[in-house]
Each structure stands twice: as structure tokens, then as C-alpha cells.
A and B are shown apart, each in its own frame.
Chain A
């Protein structure tokens, strides 16, 4: 199995760390992984995206142009990456701030009101974990226990107390996934 994913949005949305946790989750189930970021010089506000590959085989190129799944979190990324989903692939997006919704009919399209769900949880920082939860509901390629193990491995010990909150956010994302 190989899953090639791009997660694209604004800097500050937690795009890169969401990709990192997904990559760590893949390692926890003994898969090969790569995580390749692309971002401008801005720390916040600019566009940021990360390509994550999980595979049972050695990964040749970490840089790819077509994806099994695109996770899209702003309009610029929608403009750029809707066409990059492989036919039969998946597109997951947060409709918040999206003015031009995806129109392709040869791919499976899902949405998640991530920003809204984070506001409901009273914590905008868990936005990316809600998105990750929705992604994993749509593409159950890693088990929840491996995501938690991945979180443990990627977070410094002093933040391990936040793992239950992150798990709650993952579940919130899973519950709020909408098939289009």
C-alpha cells in the first residue's frame, strides 16, 4: 500500500505538524514515510503545504505532483491542487473561506467544518487534529492506536498531558466528516 497525500493551507494552521503526526503514525505501523514541506519565507499567513507519503515499500521520490489524497484548507490551495488529485482519488476540504467549491466528478469529495468544530471545542489549536481525524475517517490507513503512539513519539514528554485533548479532536473530526 502507498498513500501519497498533500495537506495545503495557510501557515499557522498546523499543516506541517499534522503531516508530521501522520508520518509518525505510519512509522508506528512499520511503514516507510516521507514528509516534504513547501513554504515561503513567512512564518504565518503565507501558504504552506506538506507532502506526506506512507508506503509498505521504500519511497523513491519524496517530491510528487499527483496525489491519492489532497487535504485543502484555503482557496489558493483549492485552485492549485484540485486538479492534482489522481482520478479515483480523494479530496477533503474545509469549506470555511472557500468561495469556489470543487467540481471534479472523477474523484471522491468530502468536507469537514474544521474551523467550526475547533470553535465548538473552544480551542482553535486543535484545528489540525480535527482535520486529521476527518482524513482518517475518510482514509483509514492508520489505526487510532498508532496515531496516539505517533503523537507520543512526536510530542515532548511535557506535552503528553495534551494527548487526550488531541484524541478528542481526532474523534470530533471523524464524527463531522461529510461526504459530498
Chain B
């Protein structure tokens, strides 16, 4: 075993940012994700790597600091929970428009409005279908363990720069607040200004020293032809992501006659449900989308030829189920099961829902 630590998901994300060589974090506290900024403040990464950590005056300020940092080619991130993410959406839409990389963590709590501080997955549509205005998609990663909270900080940043796009890590109060063992990776050295120039100088506003054209970071395109061309450019990027970046995990799908589809903490609980159902003689498997956008449509469509029905298990009133249905395209029955309001579904309830809505239904 390498270097390890028992950490909360939120702390692991923070440490993941530091170790993956992030340049900055701008945030504002809100339950259940405040441990991100608490950990970063206590850890003082400016002493370890030179990384800047700043508590902004508001969520809106924090996301615009991310916009500014990203515009100069810096690897920057922010985090919040549901109501705070709603506040950040204007800035996120501007980042998508201006093609700025950055990582945004949402540790989802129940809503709408101020809702509850307890865990939820009710921001699926907000994360996956845009949320902010305009034709854009975020690349959305859904961690289901504390280790993935750590890993996705770095992976998210890598993908954000690969596609010059904001990446959302869609977590929830369970994954953010729970502790598990995290295997820590080696410290990655932050890029120097010269390295950023060499790597991203063709688009980042790093100072025009060699007489090249000015780099302009903007989401404003007043000429219709230019705006249309820009929309097509963004769409091509999202298409490329859909071809290259789909990630998912399967449990016991080889001989499955039924399938659970679940992400994040729901996927963990659904794993137990698979065990319980199999002990009862029900051949059920689980597909866990790791990327929610792009969504593992092709694999679900393929599995629809094998299984008799699918149950989408989510801590919301039924959001991802729409994407499962689109993927399956009417081949088989797809239903939703969820608990809301901060109530976490039990494995037994999931098995019962499978029996009632899919097997018996």
C-alpha cells in the first residue's frame, strides 16, 4: 500500500486538486461541501505548491475568479452545493461560451430552493442538460467513492484542458461527507508561466510578448454568422467527447435478466441491492455511468437486447431515467425508483421496487 489517508470525500477532492498541480481554488462555504475550503485553508497549499486558495465574497464572485484564472491558462477550480451552483450557472455558461477549462464540484443536497442539507441527486438535469443558458454541455463526472473524489479532481482538470471546457464533478452529500481510505498519488508540479505559455499560449491570455495576434477570451459574438460558427464548433467538441470520453462500470451484468442503472451513492447502495436480489434468485446486474455527459447510451442500448427491464435508481423524482429511456429507445420497460428530501433509499427498497415495477409490473 502506498501513501494513504482516511478522508472525507470533500477533503479528498481538495487534496486531489493540490496533488494534481492545480493553480487555484475559489470558493464560498455551503453545507454539505464546506470541508473542501476548510481543508484547503488548513492545508495552506501555497506553502506546498504555490496554489492559491481564496474564499470569495459570494458564489458568483468565486466562479468569475475561476473564469479569470482559466483565461490565463491556469488550472483552477471551485466547489459548492446545489443552491450555490445555481448562483454559479451564469458564470459556467460564460465559461462554456468562452471555451474556458475549469473544474466545478457540486456536492448535491435536496432542493428546490434552499431545500435540505441532506444528500440528494436532484441536480442531475441541471448538470447534464446545461443548467445555464445557451447551447452547451458540461463534461460531467459522477464519483461513487472517496477515492474517485480524489481522482476526479485531477482527471476533471485534465479533461477540462483537453477540450477547453468546464467540467462538473457531480457528487452528493453521501460521497462528500463519508470517509474511506484514499491512496494518494505523487505531487504533480504546477506549470510555470513559461510552460503555460508554451502549452496554451495559442489561446490563453498570458501576455503578448512575441508579436503574435491578440488572444481574446469572450463569449460575445454579435455577428450571427460568427455565433452560428461558434455554436457548431462547440457542438463538434461535445460530439468528440461523446466518442472519446464515455466511462462506466458494470457489476454482474454477464447473465443479467434485469438491470439497475445508478450513479454516485445510489450506485453503491444498488450494488448491495444486486447482492440481495441475487440471493433471492433474481438475476440482476448494475450499470454505473461514471460520465453522465457523455452518457453510456450505446452500452445501455446493447444491454436492452439482453435484459427484460431496467430500473433507474436515483435520489430524485426521476431525471436520469429519461436518458436511460432514450438510450433504450422503447426496446424494453424502463422505470424509476427514488427517495427524495435527503432520505437515502435502502437496498431492500430498491429490490422491492425492482420486483414491483419491473418484474411484476
Contact = CB atoms under 8 A, between A and B. Distances in A.
A107 to B, nearest CB: 19
Contacts of B272: 60-61, 64
Contacts of B185: none
A30 interface: yes
Given A24-B6, A41-B31, A63-B344, A35 B180 contact: yes
A153 B182 CA distance: 14
A27 interface: yes
Nearest to A51: B178
A65 B180 contact: no
Given A41-B31, A60-B271, A34 B178 contact: yes
Interface residues of A, number: 21
Give the interface size bracket for B toward A: 20 to 34
A154 B268 CA distance: 26
Interface string B163-190: 0000000000010011111000000000
Interface string B315-352: 00000000000000000000000000000101110000
Contacts of B174: 36, 62-63
Given A27-B6, A62-B174, A41 B117 contact: yes
A36 B178 contact: yes
Interface string A34-47: 11110001000000
A62 B271 CA distance: 11
Contacts of A154: 6
Nearest to B180: A34
Contacts of A172: none
Contacts of B178: 34-37, 62
Given A27-B4, A30-B1, A41-B31, A61 B180 contact: no
Contacts of B180: 33-35, 59, 62
A124 B174 CA distance: 31
A32 B346 CA distance: 21
B71 to A, nearest CB: 37
B191 interface: no
Interface in A58-113: 59-65
What is the predominant secondary structure among interface residues of chain A facing chain B? Answer: mixed
Interface in B204-226: none
B56 interface: no
Looking at A33, A63, A154, which has the most chain B CB atoms within 10 Å of its CB? A63
B181 A27 contact: yes
B260 to A, nearest CB: 12
A99 to B, nearest CB: 28
Contacts of A64: 272, 346-347
Contacts of B81: none
Given A27-B6, A33-B6, A36-B174, A61 B179 contact: no
A34 B8 CA distance: 10
B87 interface: no
B340 to A, nearest CB: 15
B269 interface: yes
Nearest to B265: A63
Contacts of A117: none
Nearest to A34: B180
B275 interface: yes
Interface string B5-28: 010000000000000000000000
Contact of A33 (B181, B265, B347): B181
Interface string B31-46: 1000000000000000
B60 to A, nearest CB: 24
A44 B181 CA distance: 27
A100 B177 CA distance: 32
Nearest to A23: B6
A42 to B, nearest CB: 11
Contacts of A20: 6, 179
B6 A65 contact: no
A65 B346 contact: yes
Nearest to B268: A61
Given A27-B6, A30-B1, A33-B6, A61 B177 contact: no
A62 B268 contact: yes
Contact of B348 (A23, A30, A41, A65): A65
A14 B137 CA distance: 44
A149 to B, nearest CB: 12
Nearest to B342: A38
The 3 A-B residue pairs whose C-beta atoms are closest, nearest first, are: A60-B271, A35-B179, A61-B272
17 contacts: A20-B6, A24-B6, A33-B180, A35-B178, A35-B179, A36-B179, A37-B178, A41-B117, A60-B272, A60-B275, A61-B269, A62-B265, A62-B268, A63-B265, A63-B269, A64-B272, A64-B347
Interface of B: 1, 4, 6, 31, 117, 174, 177-181, 265, 268-269, 271-272, 275, 344, 346-348
Given A20-B179, A64-B346, 7 more contacts: A27-B6, A27-B181, A41-B117, A60-B272, A60-B275, A61-B271, A63-B346
